[in-house]
Structure 1
Amino acid sequence: MSFPFFTLSRRSLLSLAAGALAFAATPALAEKSSSGKVSMEELMGPNALPDVVEGGAAAPVTIVEYASMTCSHCAAFHHEVYPALKKNYIDTGKVKFILREFPLDPLATAAFMLARELGDKRDAAVDLLFSQQKNWAFTDKPLDGLANVLKQAGLGQEKFEAILKDQALYEKVNKVRERGSEKFGVNSTPTFFVNGDKYTGEISVADFDKIIAAHTPAPK
């Protein structure tokens, strides 16, 4: 199958995804201290695509992650760290969490487009794609792999092909990435903003505990 904006061969897409891994790997480990700060008003301003927010609106800590679906470090975060964040902070009303699209290659863009069109299943689709990343991002037929994985989320082949032909959606996903780069200096994945403080690379559960504690108001 082919789509208008995928002018590269599938093998070229694999090469791009491999390059994205190398790009995203610097720095591979997060600094425990913030590498900068951005305005929360700007950070939470409107994007080309609406934010999908997990957690309570009144949570005192907001975490925004910029991720790429073909980034192994992003997949590691969602597999190894995110479940603890969800259990300890998001589900308890202490943190609201937002994942924003920052595709590093056309294949990651495609994955984000497909996840977006699943509506309220978007975050579940993202988790599924990260957990099975090796089954679609690093195969000889990545689009076929994507289709097979997303069948588990109820996405049929006809709808799959229609989404990937949606030029407007393609442009919106990339506008989210462009805003992250231009406004907030995002240049690698994953990049996190915790109440506006910027952290790049992988962050352990223990480090997130410390970062969140530093941003949580003391009990009165």
Structure 2
Amino acid sequence: MRLLISATMLLLVAACGSDQSGNEVAGGNSSAPLPQIQAPNGDWTQTVVETAEGGFRMGNPDAPVKLVEYGSFTCGHCAVFTEEASAPLRDTYVKSGQVSWEFRPYLLFPTDPGLSMLLRCQGAGPFFRLTEQLYADQPNWMARLQALPPEQLQQLEGLSPQDKTEALVRAAGLDQFFRQRGMPEAKLNSCLSDPEGLQKVAAITEQGNKDGVTGTPSFFINGKIVENASSWAALEPKLRQAVQ
């Protein structure tokens, strides 16, 4: 697995390592209605499952267009994308049955392993809702980490990967975030101390590296990486083109 940015460097990092420009792409009519594929339960956005690759997929499993997103939960660019894209992705594309949307966590910052593990432990159903809430609250929990004294950061650097994962979650107040959303303390502790859980989220990042991910957010449409599309304004025309 690639090395994560250190806890000390976390205080200084604002970008997410993406080399994608996010330039808008011309083409496609984003206002035209999409052909509808009827969902058995009436709403494809209510169909969320864990995939064999370790991500979570919303929508029609047989959708002709399969969107895969690699994102870091600590990435500011990813938070902006989620704010802009979640509603239209769900309501226009996933609900049509033409597009499925899979999110795969990518470990880019020291806080990412713990967040990824806790989200996985909450299961498929609430995954996308909790992800949106986590990104929306990102300025608050990042501010707590940036306020940590230097001596505490130095102590974090001396911890094992598993212990550092848990310590960062608690330092950011993210344990309270998950408790407020129904995760008992015993489950939270068990999840963060599970070495297999840490290995699973690390393996997703390793696969992303093999697939050509160099930063977040990164997107694939039907297995092919989408260049220069780290924003919704840049991605949507390419998604619309794939549907048409």
Query: TM-score range, shorter-chain basis?
Result: 0.7 to 0.9
Matched, 1:143 2:162: no
Cα distance in 1 between the residues matched to 2:67 and 2:138: 23
Secondary structure in structure 2 of the residue aligned to 1:188: coil
2:62 aligned partner: 58
Of 6, 13, 17, the residue aligned with 2:7 is 13
Deviation per residue, 1:112-148 (Å, 9 max, x gap): 1000000122222212211111222331365232112
Cα distance in 2 between the residues matched to 1:193 and 1:154: 33
1:127 aligned partner: 132
User: 8 Å contact 1:55–1:93 — kept in the other structure?
Assistant: yes
Matched, 1:113 2:117: yes
Cα RMSD after superposing both structures: 2.5
User: 8 Å contact 2:113–2:198 — kept in the other structure?
Assistant: yes
Shift of 1:201: 5.0
User: 8 Å contact 2:15–2:76 — kept in the other structure?
Assistant: no
2:159 aligned partner: none
Secondary structure in structure 2 of the residue aligned to 1:99: strand
TM-score between the two structures when normalised by the length of structure 2: 0.70
Cα distance in 1 between the residues matched to 2:113 and 2:11: 11
User: 8 Å contact 1:74–1:190 — kept in the other structure?
Assistant: yes
Cα distance in 2 between the residues matched to 1:147 and 1:28: 34
Shift of 1:18: 4.3
Shift of 1:24: 2.5
Evaluate the alpha carbon distance shift between residue 85 and residue 17 of structure 1 in structure 2; reply closer, same or farther with a 3 A threshold: farther
1:69 aligned partner: 73
Cα distance in 2 between the residues matched to 1:188 and 1:178: 13
Larger Rg: 2
Deviation per residue, 1:158-183 (Å, 9 max, x gap): 3222211111100110011001102x
Shift of 1:93: 0.9
1:210 aligned partner: 237
Counterpart of 1:188, as a letter, is: G
Identity of aligned residues (%): 28
Matched, 1:165 2:193: yes
Matched, 1:83 2:91: no
Shift of 1:25: 4.8
Counterpart of 1:16, as a letter, is: L
Cα distance in 2 between the residues matched to 1:17 and 1:57: 40
Deviation per residue, 1:18-52 (Å, 9 max, x gap): 43x4343533525649xxxxxxxxxxx943x3x32
How many residue pairs align between the two structures?
A: 191
Evaluate the alpha carbon distance shift between residue 151 and residue 193 of structure 1 in structure 2; reply closer, same or farther with a 3 A threshold: same
Matched, 1:186 2:177: no
Cα distance in 2 between the residues matched to 1:24 and 1:104: 8
Evaluate the alpha carbon distance shift between residue 101 and residue 95 of structure 1 in structure 2; reply closer, same or farther with a 3 A threshold: same
Matched, 1:27 2:20: yes
Shift of 1:63: 0.4
Counterpart of 2:20, as a letter, is: P
